[in-house]
Amino acid sequence: MTIQQQVQTIRVRGLEKSYDKLDVLRGVDFDVARGSIFALLGSNGAGKTTVVKILSTLLKADAGAASINGFDVATQASEVRETISLTGQFAAVDEMLSGWENLVLVARLRHLDDPDLIADELLARFSLTDAGARKVSTYSGGMRRRLDIAMSLIGNPPVIFLDEPTTGLDPQARIEVWQTVKDLAEGGTTVLLTTQYLDEAEQLADRIAILHKGRIIVNGTLAELKQLLPPARVEYVEKQPTLEDVFLALVGSGAKDSATGNHRISEERP
Protein backbone atom coordinates (compact mmCIF):
# COMPACT_ATOMS: atom_id res chain seq x y z
CA MET A 1 0.00 0.00 0.00
CA THR A 2 2.82 2.40 -0.48
CA ILE A 3 4.64 4.10 -3.26
CA GLN A 4 3.87 1.66 -6.04
CA GLN A 5 0.80 3.73 -6.71
CA GLN A 6 1.95 6.81 -8.48
CA VAL A 7 -1.24 8.72 -7.81
CA GLN A 8 -0.28 11.75 -5.76
CA THR A 9 -3.21 12.92 -3.68
CA ILE A 10 -1.37 15.81 -2.09
CA ARG A 11 1.14 17.88 -4.07
CA VAL A 12 3.07 20.68 -2.43
CA ARG A 13 5.50 22.84 -4.39
CA GLY A 14 7.67 25.69 -3.19
CA LEU A 15 5.43 26.65 -0.29
CA GLU A 16 6.54 29.81 1.49
CA LYS A 17 5.00 31.61 4.42
CA SER A 18 6.25 34.25 6.80
CA TYR A 19 4.67 36.02 9.72
CA ASP A 20 5.91 39.58 9.80
CA LYS A 21 9.66 39.08 9.42
CA LEU A 22 9.76 35.49 10.59
CA ASP A 23 10.15 33.03 7.70
CA VAL A 24 8.26 29.95 8.81
CA LEU A 25 8.23 28.08 5.49
CA ARG A 26 11.04 28.67 3.01
CA GLY A 27 10.14 26.51 0.04
CA VAL A 28 8.48 23.27 1.05
CA ASP A 29 7.98 20.47 -1.52
CA PHE A 30 6.49 17.02 -1.03
CA ASP A 31 3.95 14.58 -2.44
CA VAL A 32 1.67 12.17 -0.65
CA ALA A 33 0.48 9.07 -2.47
CA ARG A 34 -3.13 8.01 -2.27
CA GLY A 35 -3.96 5.75 0.65
CA SER A 36 -0.59 6.25 2.30
CA ILE A 37 0.42 7.70 5.65
CA PHE A 38 2.84 10.56 5.38
CA ALA A 39 4.51 11.92 8.49
CA LEU A 40 5.82 15.43 8.72
CA LEU A 41 8.36 15.30 11.47
CA GLY A 42 9.81 18.32 13.14
CA SER A 43 10.51 20.03 16.42
CA ASN A 44 8.28 22.70 17.88
CA GLY A 45 8.17 25.76 15.67
CA ALA A 46 9.44 23.91 12.60
CA GLY A 47 6.36 24.99 10.64
CA LYS A 48 4.36 21.75 10.66
CA THR A 49 1.12 23.37 11.76
CA THR A 50 1.58 26.12 9.18
CA VAL A 51 1.78 23.51 6.42
CA VAL A 52 -1.38 21.83 7.70
CA LYS A 53 -3.22 25.14 7.94
CA ILE A 54 -2.34 26.06 4.38
CA LEU A 55 -3.41 22.63 3.11
CA SER A 56 -6.71 22.84 5.01
CA THR A 57 -7.46 26.31 3.52
CA LEU A 58 -7.18 28.11 6.87
CA LEU A 59 -4.14 30.10 5.84
CA LYS A 60 -2.89 31.45 2.53
CA ALA A 61 0.66 30.77 1.43
CA ASP A 62 2.86 33.70 0.40
CA ALA A 63 4.28 31.72 -2.51
CA GLY A 64 4.19 28.27 -4.01
CA ALA A 65 1.28 25.98 -4.73
CA ALA A 66 -0.49 23.08 -3.14
CA SER A 67 -3.22 20.85 -4.42
CA ILE A 68 -5.35 18.10 -2.98
CA ASN A 69 -6.93 15.58 -5.33
CA GLY A 70 -6.12 18.03 -8.09
CA PHE A 71 -7.86 20.98 -6.43
CA ASP A 72 -5.74 24.04 -5.75
CA VAL A 73 -5.94 25.04 -2.08
CA ALA A 74 -5.90 28.74 -2.90
CA THR A 75 -8.26 28.98 -5.85
CA GLN A 76 -10.54 25.96 -5.30
CA ALA A 77 -10.83 26.16 -1.53
CA SER A 78 -14.40 24.97 -1.33
CA GLU A 79 -13.67 21.84 -3.39
CA VAL A 80 -10.67 21.19 -1.16
CA ARG A 81 -12.89 21.47 1.92
CA GLU A 82 -15.20 18.83 0.44
CA THR A 83 -12.20 16.52 0.15
CA ILE A 84 -10.41 16.95 3.48
CA SER A 85 -10.92 16.75 7.17
CA LEU A 86 -8.77 18.45 9.77
CA THR A 87 -7.97 17.18 13.22
CA GLY A 88 -6.15 20.07 14.75
CA GLN A 89 -3.49 20.19 17.39
CA PHE A 90 -5.99 20.54 20.21
CA ALA A 91 -9.09 18.37 20.24
CA ALA A 92 -11.61 20.64 18.55
CA VAL A 93 -14.70 19.41 20.32
CA ASP A 94 -17.58 21.32 21.86
CA GLU A 95 -17.24 20.97 25.62
CA MET A 96 -20.80 21.98 26.36
CA LEU A 97 -22.35 19.35 24.10
CA SER A 98 -22.41 15.60 24.57
CA GLY A 99 -20.25 13.35 22.41
CA TRP A 100 -23.30 12.31 20.43
CA GLU A 101 -24.36 15.92 19.86
CA ASN A 102 -20.87 16.82 18.65
CA LEU A 103 -21.07 14.10 16.01
CA VAL A 104 -24.59 15.06 14.96
CA LEU A 105 -23.47 18.69 14.67
CA VAL A 106 -20.69 17.83 12.24
CA ALA A 107 -22.91 15.44 10.26
CA ARG A 108 -25.51 18.21 9.86
CA LEU A 109 -22.86 20.70 8.79
CA ARG A 110 -21.67 18.19 6.20
CA HIS A 111 -25.28 18.04 4.98
CA LEU A 112 -25.52 14.27 5.38
CA ASP A 113 -28.66 12.20 5.63
CA ASP A 114 -29.48 10.61 8.95
CA PRO A 115 -27.01 12.37 11.26
CA ASP A 116 -28.37 10.44 14.28
CA LEU A 117 -27.43 7.09 12.79
CA ILE A 118 -23.98 8.33 11.79
CA ALA A 119 -23.40 9.54 15.35
CA ASP A 120 -24.51 6.22 16.85
CA GLU A 121 -22.22 4.25 14.54
CA LEU A 122 -19.18 6.39 15.23
CA LEU A 123 -19.73 6.27 18.99
CA ALA A 124 -19.76 2.49 18.75
CA ARG A 125 -16.71 2.38 16.50
CA PHE A 126 -14.68 4.52 18.90
CA SER A 127 -15.90 2.79 22.08
CA LEU A 128 -17.70 5.90 23.24
CA THR A 129 -21.26 4.59 23.27
CA ASP A 130 -21.48 4.59 27.07
CA ALA A 131 -20.15 8.12 27.27
CA GLY A 132 -22.17 9.34 24.30
CA ALA A 133 -24.80 11.15 26.31
CA ARG A 134 -22.33 12.81 28.65
CA LYS A 135 -21.01 16.32 28.26
CA VAL A 136 -17.58 16.32 26.62
CA SER A 137 -16.20 18.44 29.47
CA THR A 138 -16.30 15.25 31.57
CA TYR A 139 -14.21 13.24 29.06
CA SER A 140 -10.58 12.20 29.54
CA GLY A 141 -7.91 13.41 27.12
CA GLY A 142 -7.94 10.11 25.24
CA MET A 143 -11.74 10.07 24.90
CA ARG A 144 -11.69 13.64 23.68
CA ARG A 145 -9.11 12.80 21.04
CA ARG A 146 -11.11 9.76 19.91
CA LEU A 147 -14.23 11.88 19.61
CA ASP A 148 -12.20 14.51 17.75
CA ILE A 149 -10.98 11.93 15.24
CA ALA A 150 -14.48 10.44 14.96
CA MET A 151 -15.78 13.91 14.07
CA SER A 152 -13.15 14.14 11.34
CA LEU A 153 -14.28 10.88 9.75
CA ILE A 154 -17.87 11.98 9.20
CA GLY A 155 -18.63 12.06 5.51
CA ASN A 156 -15.66 9.78 4.76
CA PRO A 157 -13.31 12.46 3.45
CA PRO A 158 -10.59 10.89 1.27
CA VAL A 159 -7.83 13.00 2.87
CA ILE A 160 -7.28 13.52 6.58
CA PHE A 161 -4.84 15.87 8.29
CA LEU A 162 -3.82 15.01 11.82
CA ASP A 163 -1.81 17.73 13.51
CA GLU A 164 0.11 16.15 16.40
CA PRO A 165 -2.67 13.67 17.11
CA THR A 166 -1.09 12.07 20.18
CA THR A 167 0.45 15.05 21.93
CA GLY A 168 -0.64 14.95 25.55
CA LEU A 169 -2.10 11.45 25.42
CA ASP A 170 -1.17 8.58 27.72
CA PRO A 171 0.54 5.53 26.15
CA GLN A 172 -2.67 3.50 25.81
CA ALA A 173 -4.56 6.32 24.17
CA ARG A 174 -1.60 6.78 21.83
CA ILE A 175 -1.77 3.17 20.74
CA GLU A 176 -5.51 3.51 20.14
CA VAL A 177 -4.97 6.55 17.96
CA TRP A 178 -2.21 4.75 16.06
CA GLN A 179 -4.51 1.82 15.37
CA THR A 180 -7.20 4.19 14.12
CA VAL A 181 -4.76 5.87 11.77
CA LYS A 182 -3.60 2.49 10.40
CA ASP A 183 -7.21 1.39 9.88
CA LEU A 184 -7.92 4.59 8.00
CA ALA A 185 -5.04 4.10 5.60
CA GLU A 186 -6.01 0.47 5.06
CA GLY A 187 -9.47 1.73 4.12
CA GLY A 188 -7.90 3.90 1.42
CA THR A 189 -7.80 7.24 3.22
CA THR A 190 -4.75 9.40 2.63
CA VAL A 191 -3.32 10.57 5.94
CA LEU A 192 -0.94 13.45 6.50
CA LEU A 193 0.15 13.60 10.09
CA THR A 194 2.54 15.86 11.87
CA THR A 195 4.42 14.74 14.90
CA GLN A 196 7.38 15.55 17.04
CA TYR A 197 7.66 11.95 18.24
CA LEU A 198 10.15 9.94 16.25
CA ASP A 199 8.63 6.63 17.25
CA GLU A 200 5.22 7.75 16.07
CA ALA A 201 6.54 8.44 12.57
CA GLU A 202 8.42 5.16 12.70
CA GLN A 203 5.31 3.20 13.71
CA LEU A 204 2.86 4.70 11.30
CA ALA A 205 4.31 6.35 8.29
CA ASP A 206 4.91 4.95 4.82
CA ARG A 207 7.02 8.01 4.15
CA ILE A 208 8.61 10.43 6.53
CA ALA A 209 9.72 13.97 5.79
CA ILE A 210 11.71 16.01 8.23
CA LEU A 211 10.80 19.67 8.29
CA HIS A 212 13.56 21.79 9.71
CA LYS A 213 13.82 25.58 9.71
CA GLY A 214 11.13 25.91 7.05
CA ARG A 215 12.50 23.33 4.61
CA ILE A 216 12.13 19.60 4.06
CA ILE A 217 15.63 18.33 4.68
CA VAL A 218 14.94 14.65 4.02
CA ASN A 219 12.00 12.74 2.60
CA GLY A 220 11.81 8.98 2.25
CA THR A 221 10.73 5.67 3.70
CA LEU A 222 12.02 4.64 7.08
CA ALA A 223 14.46 2.26 5.40
CA GLU A 224 15.74 5.04 3.14
CA LEU A 225 16.15 7.37 6.06
CA LYS A 226 18.09 4.76 7.99
CA GLN A 227 20.52 4.35 5.10
CA LEU A 228 21.49 7.97 5.46
CA LEU A 229 23.41 7.01 8.55
CA PRO A 230 26.47 4.76 8.72
CA PRO A 231 25.48 1.09 8.50
CA ALA A 232 24.31 -0.59 11.65
CA ARG A 233 26.93 -2.21 13.81
CA VAL A 234 26.21 -5.31 15.78
CA GLU A 235 26.45 -4.67 19.49
CA TYR A 236 25.42 -6.82 22.37
CA VAL A 237 23.26 -4.83 24.71
CA GLU A 238 21.17 -6.15 27.54
CA LYS A 239 17.52 -5.64 26.57
CA GLN A 240 16.00 -3.70 29.43
CA PRO A 241 12.27 -3.10 29.31
CA THR A 242 11.49 0.52 28.63
CA LEU A 243 9.33 2.33 31.13
CA GLU A 244 6.58 2.20 28.53
CA ASP A 245 6.87 -1.61 28.35
CA VAL A 246 6.64 -1.78 32.13
CA PHE A 247 3.69 0.59 32.26
CA LEU A 248 1.76 -1.25 29.60
CA ALA A 249 2.53 -4.66 31.11
CA LEU A 250 1.30 -3.55 34.52
CA VAL A 251 -1.78 -1.70 33.31
CA GLY A 252 -2.22 -4.50 30.85
CA SER A 253 -5.80 -4.96 29.78
CA GLY A 254 -6.37 -1.33 28.84
CA ALA A 255 -3.95 -1.60 25.94
CA LYS A 256 -6.56 -3.28 23.77
CA ASP A 257 -4.70 -2.91 20.59
CA SER A 258 -1.48 -4.53 21.66
CA ALA A 259 -2.17 -6.86 18.74
CA THR A 260 -0.57 -4.16 16.63
CA GLY A 261 2.74 -5.64 17.69
CA ASN A 262 4.14 -2.21 18.24
CA HIS A 263 4.94 -2.96 21.79
CA ARG A 264 6.07 -6.30 22.93
CA ILE A 265 4.59 -6.69 26.32
CA SER A 266 6.72 -9.53 27.57
CA GLU A 267 5.56 -11.62 30.42
CA GLU A 268 8.98 -12.78 31.55
CA ARG A 269 11.44 -10.52 33.22
CA PRO A 270 14.93 -10.42 31.73
Q: Which residues bind another protein (CB under 8 A)?
A: 53, 56-60, 78, 81-82, 84-86, 88-97, 101, 105-106, 108-111, 135, 151
For the bound state, the minimum distance from the C-beta of residue 92 to another protein, rounded and expressed in Å, comes to 4
For the bound state, the minimum distance from the C-beta of residue 18 to another protein, rounded and expressed in Å, comes to 14
For the bound state, the minimum distance from the C-beta of residue 104 to another protein, rounded and expressed in Å, comes to 9
Of 53 and 174, nearer to another protein (C-beta) is 53
For the bound state, the minimum distance from the C-beta of residue 157 to another protein, rounded and expressed in Å, comes to 9
Of 164 and 206, nearer to another protein (C-beta) is 164
Three-state SS annotation for 88-154: CCCCCCCCCCEHHHHHHHHHHHCCCCCHHHHHHHHHHHCCCCCCCCCEHHHCCHHHHHHHHHHHHHC
The torsion angle over the Cα atoms of residues 209, 212, 216 and 220, rounded to 10 degrees, is -30
For the bound state, the minimum distance from the C-beta of residue 83 to another protein, rounded and expressed in Å, comes to 9
For the bound state, the minimum distance from the C-beta of residue 181 to another protein, rounded and expressed in Å, comes to 18
For the bound state, the minimum distance from the C-beta of residue 237 to another protein, rounded and expressed in Å, comes to 42
For residue 247, with 0-12 CB atoms within 10 Å meaning exposed, 13-18 middle and 19 or more buried, which class applies? middle
Of 8 and 76, nearer to another protein (C-beta) is 76
Of 35 and 157, nearer to another protein (C-beta) is 157
Read out DSSP for 17-37? EEETTEEEEEEEEEEEETT-E
Of 2 and 90, nearer to another protein (C-beta) is 90
Of 56 and 172, nearer to another protein (C-beta) is 56
Of 135 and 213, nearer to another protein (C-beta) is 135
* Residues 8 and 41 sit within 8 Å (Cβ to Cβ): no
User: Which residues, at least 6 apart from 74, have a Cβ–Cβ distance to it below 8 Å?
Assistant: 60, 61, 65, 66
123-157: buried (b, 16+ CB within 10 Å) or exposed (e) per residue? beebebeebbeeebeebeebbbbbbbbbbbbbeeb
